[in-house]
Amino acid sequence: MFNSFKSQRNNIPAIIAQSTKVNGDIECEGELQLDGTVHGNLKIEKLIIGSTGLVVGNIKATDLTVLGKVEGDIDASQVTLLPNAQVFGNIEHETLTIEAGAHVDGKLTHRNERANNVTSIDSSAEQTKSS
């Protein structure tokens, strides 16, 4: 009985309310709904930044959904930018969805592109010789 209650509690997201301001880094293994303001870096498994949410700092997440504003770099496997989302920073991602009305001011980097854009020194030298 107690074990089933404990596993149900783990599925409840942590919430930072609209009237809350946090100064400092946050780490969370579960889900966080952010409707307030955070000045610091976030390392979170699943993060939802609500329409009133603001992050001034870098974000590392597995799954990120943004309706509010981010001023910093994002490193996440899945990134979803909903209408009215504002991101001022670079985004490194595996999957990226940008809906109409979202704003991004930064560089978008797909993780596979970063790995595939590396040219070895030997092959570039061979291409120069054969030209």
Tell me the three-class secondary structure of 54-107, residue by residue.
EEECCEEEEEEEECCEEECCEEEEEEEECCCCEEECCEEEEEEEECCCCEECCC
Task: For residue range 35-76, list pLDDT tens digits in order.
Answer: 999 999 999 999 999 999 999 999 999 999 999 999 999 999
Q: What pLDDT sits at residue 12?
A: 81
Task: For residue range 6-44, list pLDDT tens digits in order.
Answer: 444 557 889 999 999 999 999 988 999 999 999 999 999
Asked if pLDDT for residue 128 goes beyond 60, the answer is: no
φ, ψ of residue 42 to 5 degrees: the values are -120, 135
Q: What pLDDT sits at residue 113?
A: 57
Q: What is the pTM of this model?
A: 0.78
Task: For residue range 78-126, list pLDDT tens digits in order.
Answer: 999 999 999 999 999 999 999 999 999 999 999 875 555 445 455 444 4
